[in-house]
Structures are given as structure tokens and as C-alpha cells.
A and B are shown apart, each in its own frame.
Chain A
Amino acid sequence: MYIKVKDLVGENAMTLADGEAIYGRIHDPLAQGEAVELDFDGVQVFASPFFNAGIGRLLADLTSETLNARLKFEHLSDFGARVLRRVIENAKDYYTANEDQRNAIDRIVRDNAVVA
């Protein structure tokens, strides 16, 4: 599967919503063994909410080995790559944390979302 990211999110890949749009397109194909290529040609600005929602979440149920083998990034700027690496590092920490601790955090997030 080939996805031209600019066609989905425009020149600025910065928001959670845009990241969720990418995640929604790539998660199932990746989980089913398909190779995915994300082409960032024409995308100029990157921020962590986009990568958190679009890429970091993949580590919830897909291994690093799987993602390294199946998910390719093309034309990602040096800065975009640096933000992405930071997000992935943080996501690994998050998903390797004690499961009880993680569930507690997610429960609090859900409860707060209801309150808000």
C-alpha cells in the first residue's frame, strides 16, 4: 500500500486528528501482513501530536520487528525524522511500562474525557 501523506493531511502534519486519519488507513493492512509506504513528499511541518496518533499507537499491538519490516517512510525531512524517532522512543517506553500502570493511566484519561 502506498499513501501520499500530503494528499490526506496537506503541507502540515501536526494534529492528532490528522495522525488518526493516517492510523486508520495503515493499522489493519500492517496487522494483516501488508507492506505500507508513507510518502511525505510535500509535507513541510511536523509536530508530535501527529506522530503520536498516527505512528506511536501502532506499537500497542505491533512489534518493532514487524513495523521495521513492513512500514517505510519516504521523503521525510531530517526534522520530521527526529520528531518521529522521539515519538517512537516514547511510545516504546509507554507500551513497555507495567500493564497495570498503563491501564490506570488510560482509565484516568477516559474518565477525564467524560468529565470534560
Chain B
Amino acid sequence: MSFDFSGCAFLQPNAVVFLGGLSRVIHHRGGVARFLLDTMTDPLRVNLLQNGFAHAMGAGTAPWQGNSIPYREYCSQDQDGIAYDLRRNWLGRGWINVSAGLANAVVGQMWEIFANAFEHSSTRVGVFSCGQFFKTRRQLTLAVADFGIGIPSNVRLFLGRPQLSAAEALRWAFQRGNSTTCRLAGPRGVGLDLLKELVRKNNGTMLVYSHDGRAHIDQRGETYENLDPFFEGTLVQIRLSCDDRRYVLSEEAPSQAPFF
């Protein structure tokens, strides 16, 4: 399969992870993905070289540091590697004003995306991530994609409701306490709630595409809709605003009450 980039001026991080994951799916199914370099503009080619996508796809040029957060492919739940990447290459570049302690807290919340991708999707080709700092808009973006079962399928199977729409399935999955993970019988389903809180408190947005459903979450609320295009997997994109104030996680003061 050949990818033609004519008319494409720039690839957002969500497009980069989609393209990377798709090429691995093609390879996994015995095909070959080819990227037609002569159809790329120079800025696009430079962007894909800089963020390491081209290198991951076989180009000789090693990535270098710029406004892109490196393209990564994770074949296993490498928690230390992912935490290191998030802390150093995403939060640690000085684009967001966070203390070391707060950076660790944000890393923990972003990890929830990766944990969901690994725990729920049963992906066979791994999990893909990439990000970008948009200097003029002062926005920091991170996209994470898997090509696994997809949230709507998981929820339908879990609830035994095959007719449930993708939008309703996503709405269910984003409610606190709801989870389809098969690894643990017992309480679960807090991670996305924490992530939504981070996004809302810091004027960010979270976009989720899974199968034929889309979720959009920001300070104004949550919307869930059905889409025509079908994406075989799940793509989450977080966009955080990099304004000058220090990031916050909660206005709650640390509680002294007993934990239980």
C-alpha cells in the first residue's frame, strides 16, 4: 500500500500515530506500506524526520529535538519507559510551568491513556504515541493510538448490548466506575475520571476516536457522537494549554481524614 501526501501541508500528531499504527497493521497482515517521499512538501518531510517517524519507518536520519514530541511505538506495557518519555520529552521541555512533583502527577494521569490502550484493546501491533508543541497557539498535544478492539466493541460485549450506538458506548465508558478491563475482577474505572479532571482544570481538550464514535471533553462539558468513518482501534488526543500560570490538579487541600 502506498501513501501519497500530495496536498498535505502538515500532519498533526493524531495523524502521525494513525499512519504509524496503520503501517504496522499492514505489515502484520503481510503487506508493505510505502511512503511516497516525492509527494511530501519539504516542511512535512522535515517534521517526520524530526519527530522520529521517518526513522521508525526505516529512514537513516536520526530524529533531533524540536517542537515535536518524539514518535514512539510501544510493544509492551513499558511503564518506566513511558513515564520517562512523558516526563522528559513532553513535560520536561519547559513548555508547561510545572514543578517536579506536579510533573509526576501529570505523568500518572497521562499514563491512564496508555494503561487503557494496553489493558482494554488487546492490541497486536502495540501502542503508538506522538506529540507536538504549537508555539503560536501555546498548546501542547499528545496523541496515543492503538489498533485493538475499540471502546464501543468492548462496551457492547461487556454490557451484552450489541445494538448500543458508538456514542452511547463511549458515554458509558467515560463515566466514573465504569470499566471493561478483564484483568481485574473488582473495583476499577477511575483513571479516565482523573484525566478528565486534569483536562478541565487546565483549559485543555480531550478527543477520543474509537470505531464510529467520537468523544470531546473540555471545560464546557462532554459531547459524544456517532461518525461515519470507522476507525479500527482507539485514538486519544490530549491538548493542554500552556499559559503562564502554574498547572493545577485540584483545589482540594490534602485531607487528613482516614483513608478508608
- A residues near B (Cβ < 8 Å) are 10-12, 14-16, 18, 44-49, 52-53, 56-57, 59-60, 64-65, 67-68, 71, 73, 77-79, 81-88, 90-91, 93-95, 106, 108-110, 112-113, 115-116
Query: B32 an interface residue at 8 Å Cβ cutoff?
Result: no
Q: Which of A14, A56, A88 meets B111, CB within 8 Å? A: A14
Determine if B184 and A53 form an interchain contact, defined as CB atoms under 8 angstroms apart: yes
By size class, the interface of chain B is: 35 or more
Query: B177 an interface residue at 8 Å Cβ cutoff?
Result: yes
- Residue of B109, B157, B181, B183 with most chain A CB atoms under a 10 A cut-off: B183
- Residue of B185, B194, B252 with most chain A CB atoms under a 10 A cut-off: B185
Query: B115 an interface residue at 8 Å Cβ cutoff?
Result: yes
- B residues near A (Cβ < 8 Å) are 77, 79-80, 83, 101-102, 104-105, 107-109, 111-112, 115, 119, 122, 157-160, 176-177, 180-191, 193-194, 249-250, 252, 254-255, 258-260
Determine if A49 and B186 form an interchain contact, defined as CB atoms under 8 angstroms apart: no
Contacts of B190 in A (CB 8 A): 48, 52, 83, 86-87, 90
Question: Are A90 and B187 also in contact (CB < 8 A) when A46-B108, A68-B258 are?
Answer: yes
Q: How far is the CA of A84 from the CA of B254 in the complex (A)?
A: 12
Q: How far is the CA of A110 from the CA of B184 in the complex (A)?
A: 9
B226 to chain A, nearest CB (A): 24
